[in-house]
Each structure stands twice: as structure tokens, then as C-alpha cells.
Structure 1
Amino acid sequence: MPLRAANSPSDASNNRTDHLPLPRSELIVGAFRGHAGARRPAWKVPLDAAGRLALHHGEQWAAETISRDSSADDHVVAAAKRSIDALNEVRVNLISEIDSWVERVVRASSDAPLHTETVGSVIDRLAIAWIRWRRFSDLSQHERSAIHSSLALRQLTELAGAYDVLVLDIHHGRRRVPRWRALKSYRGRR
């Protein structure tokens, strides 16, 4: 249940999903929270990368906040923008790490319809949604609207549910994921 996943550590012993090739959203969100939980050793790569994506997006959120600060010195904003570029390079590499693992582990039917995103891209979007929800939830009452927090939680829950459907569709041969690689290179930055 994605809503439970957003609010509590995962408990894989209650989920009969060990037969699935990919970890369910509860374990992904648990990895965002730093919970290793009871998990299959085969899922180490995507869950470790998911945890690092969440840390990364927390850092990127902070850098973007600095870059939008209208009172910040130009040098501070420029340094934040360079930091964002470096963080995007890490992000692309983490997504690629997950996608490479999926290519090695998941055997999808070539006849199945193609999903629009790679698994790494979906996990990346889950990490962004989780960070957004945590940030809105952590703001003091006068700094936020309860609407933002509940909307962010709803978006996280819906995306987690869509991810779980994708996992089941891949498992049952109803969907396959693209084998894409990032085309933008961050090497050679100035």
C-alpha cells in the first residue's frame, strides 16, 4: 500500500512480493528513509541507488533554494548553479545504474507494449516526490499550507501506486521498459 509506504518503514515479511523481479514501492520508499528492511539480496543495487537518489534530491532542493534567493549574491547563485549541474551528473549516473541492473535482471516480453519511462526514471521521480512531501511536511505551520503537504503526499501515493502496477505488469509480461541511456553528458563542464 503506497500510503503506508510513505508514512512507515517497509515490512517485506507482510508482502508476498519476493517472486517479483523488482522491489515494490514500500521498499523503494523505505530506501529513501534509510531503512534497509527485509529485502532480497538481489535488490541491493536498485534499493541502494534509490536511497542515494533521495539524498541527492535533498541536496538539490537546497541548492535550488539558494539559486532562487533574490537576496543572494551573484557568486553564491553561480556556485549553487554549478552545484546543481554536478548533482544532475550524479542523478543521471544513479538512474543509469538502476536501468543497467534492470536490463541484466528483468526479462520482459518483446511483444509487450513499451512503457514510457525506464524503471530508473520512475524511481527518480518517486525520490523527487518523496523529498517534496518531506519538505512540505517538515515546514513549520506558518510557512506552509496544509494543502501543499497533502497534495505532495497524494502525488507520492499515486506515483507509488503507478510504480507498483508497472512492477506487476512487467512481471506478468504486460509491459516492458525502454532500454535508454542518457544522451546528455555533464563531462567537460567549465
Structure 2
Amino acid sequence: MSSPTPLIDISQVLELHRSTVELWHLQPVENTYQGVLELVCQQHIFNYELWHQEDIARSRDVTDAEIAKVKRAIDQYNQARNDHIEKLDDWLTQQLEVNGVSPKPDAKLNTETPGSAVDRLSIMSLRLYHYEEQLQREDVDQDHLARMQARIALCQEQRHDLSRSLSELLEEIQAGTKMHKTYRQMKMYNDPTLNPYLYKAAK
């Protein structure tokens, strides 16, 4: 009996991550995808924006006011990124229900959700792009280039391992041998009723 069609095609996710990072460095960021890839792309957008705000935050030639603005943007993008990890896991839960898939009695639980693994692949695509960008520099020596090439090779190996493991996890979830849950991250610092600095200041 043939295996069911995967609910998320990880090869498509990898290509989306790779191609959009290249495209967004040349033209404005936009999400032209549909279905689950629309969710994947939106989550990827938040990582893309977050990555570049983090670069600015470490610059020494911007004012304190600009740094404060960047730090708030980082906080917002990070919250949105985490929200979309949960949205991706929620989408998977819905699809499992639609397809009548439920975990078997002896199904085990993975330590990482598919949404979290997709997030890690998104970050890896950004890391690879920017390491490969280093190879185009003319103001660095051969030691720098060799170090970048070694890091690129390691990132490629890690991306391969993670994408393969994620594909296997999704297969096991669809087969019912692994359980799937959305883990709510419930960030406290963004909630004015839970962050002591915010609710004490409000009084």
C-alpha cells in the first residue's frame, strides 16, 4: 500500500525559504503563496525582518532612540514569529482531523513540533544566504573565506538532517505512531497584566 500524500511537502518548504530570501534582498517582501505554504511564508517573513533588525541593533553608528525603536520591532517580529509557529501546528491539527488521523494508543510524543522545525529551517536558510554573501566580499582574506565555507558546509549538513527528520516526523504523525500537539508559548513579557514592569508602571 502506498504512503499517503504528505500534509506538508518539506522539499517545497526548503525551496520557498531559499528562493524568497534571495528575492526579498532584491525587491519588496511579499507573500504570494496559498494554502499551508502561505503560513510557512508568513512565518518566514517575520524571521527575515527579525534577522535584519537584529543586525541594526548591533550597529554602533545609530542613536539610542533608533536602537529603542529597533528593539521594539524585534520584540514584535519575534512575537509574530512565535504566533505563526503555533498557527502552523494548529493547521496541521486541523488537517489531521479532516483526514481522520488519530494517534495510536502507544504513540509517542516528539520533543519538537513540526511548526518549530519549520521555523528552524527558515532561520537556517537566512544563515546560509548571509554566509554565502560573505564569499562575495573583496575586503577579506583567505582565512575568512575558508571559515565561511566550513560554516556553509555545516549549515547545509544540519539543514539536510533537520529536513529529513521533519519529513520522517510528519510521516509518523500521519501514520498515528507519533502524537501531535500545539504547544502554546504564552510569552509573559508582552502581556501588560503579567509583566511586572508594565502592570506596576500602570499603577
The answer to whether TM tops 0.5 is yes
The one-letter amino acid of 2:8's match is P
Instruction: For 1:1-190, list aligned pairs within 5 A.
Output: 19-32=4-17, 33-34=19-20, 44-106=34-96, 107-111=101-105, 112-139=107-134, 140-141=136-137, 142=140, 145-184=148-187, 186=190, 188=192
Contact map agreement 1:67 1:81 (CA 8 A) in 2: yes
Which has the higher Rg, Structure 1 or Structure 2? 2
Unaligned runs of 5+ in 1: 1-15, 35-42
Contact map agreement 1:53 1:91 (CA 8 A) in 2: yes
Contact map agreement 1:117 1:177 (CA 8 A) in 2: no
Partners in 1 of 2:80 and 2:41 — Cα distance? 13
Shift of 1:27: 1.3
Q: What RMSD over aligned residues (CA atoms) do the two structures have, in Å?
A: 2.5
Unaligned runs of 5+ in 2: 21-32, 199-203
1:120-154 deviation per Cα after TM superposition (whole angstroms, max 9, x unaligned): 11111111111111221123243652112222222
Change (3 A) 1:50 1:172: same
Percent identity between the aligned chains? 23
Partners in 1 of 2:118 and 2:94 — Cα distance? 17
Shift of 1:21: 4.4
Match of 1:178, SS state, is coil
- Structure 2-normalised TM-score? 0.71
- Structure 1-normalised TM-score? 0.76
The one-letter amino acid of 1:156's match is R
1:76-121 deviation per Cα after TM superposition (whole angstroms, max 9, x unaligned): 2211111101101211221122111111111331521001122211
The one-letter amino acid of 1:62's match is H
The one-letter amino acid of 1:126's match is L
**Matched residues, number:** 166
